Amino acid sequence: MTGFLYIVATPIGNLEDITLRALRILKEIDLILVEDSRVTKKLLMHYGINKSILTYHQHSPISVKNRIVSELSSGKNLALVSDAGTPGISDPGNELIDFVLQSLPDAKIIPIPGASAISASLSVCGLNVNKFVFLGFLPKKKRKKLFAWFKEGNLSTGSRRGIAFAFYESPKRILKTLDFLQEEFGSDKKVFIARELTKLHESLYRGTIEKVRNILEKERIRGEIVVVVD
């Protein structure tokens, strides 16, 4: 019988942000697929879990994917984790699932939900995010075209007013990105920025683009960032 492939959410910083079910699955399965073994080993050591691991990431050769399929075919149960948060959200998790399903269409893929930087950000942003679009990492080029979609909505074509958007951004680009958003949407547009969620230097910034930009410009911006735009 084909084994199970569990897609396991892990913490985005604070090691306590992992579910009881995730810990049980990680203890029970045969092999853990990890993005960066150094990152996941810290988590496993913290919870006293000693398991075989195999590195799987964006640049893994086909031989690694074939090995994963063959382990599942032989009945082994596997867990896929990423460096942080929920696999498949802005990382190559779904690419692996697609590959597995091509060889094993009946493979059992089981989600073990938990932390994600996007859901944590939306939950505290204080903006109306009843409807939102998640853009992952913004493309470096053709951003104008992407945002035109939000600007051009009207009632006859289906209004896009009231649809917030969120994306992941690097600290190196955040000021430039805020400048761009200001040009596109005006300096009064409200934004929310989450930096280093659940970590020692967690900081949340709320206000107009202009206000948030001024604050960030004075700080040395480091760490991981999520942006939500009203």
Residues that bind ligand SAM (CB under 6 A): 12-13, 82, 84-86, 89-91, 116-118, 168, 194, 196-199, 224-226
Tokens (6 digits) for 136: 């992952």
Nearer to ligand SAM, 3 or 88 (CB): 88
Nearer to ligand SAM, 224 or 230 (CB): 224
Nearest position to ligand SAM, beta carbon: 85
Cβ neighbours, 10 Å, residue 43:
21
Report the Cα 216 to chain-centroid distance in Å: 23
Least Å distance between CB 155 and ligand SAM? 34
> Packing angle between helix 209-218 and helix 174-185, nearest 10 degrees?
160
- CA 101 – CA 85 distance, rounded (Å): 23
Least Å distance between CB 175 and ligand SAM? 15
Least Å distance between CB 35 and ligand SAM? 8
Nearer to ligand SAM, 3 or 13 (CB): 13
Least Å distance between CB 188 and ligand SAM? 25
Secondary structure (3-state) at 225: strand
Cross-strand partners of 80: 7, 33
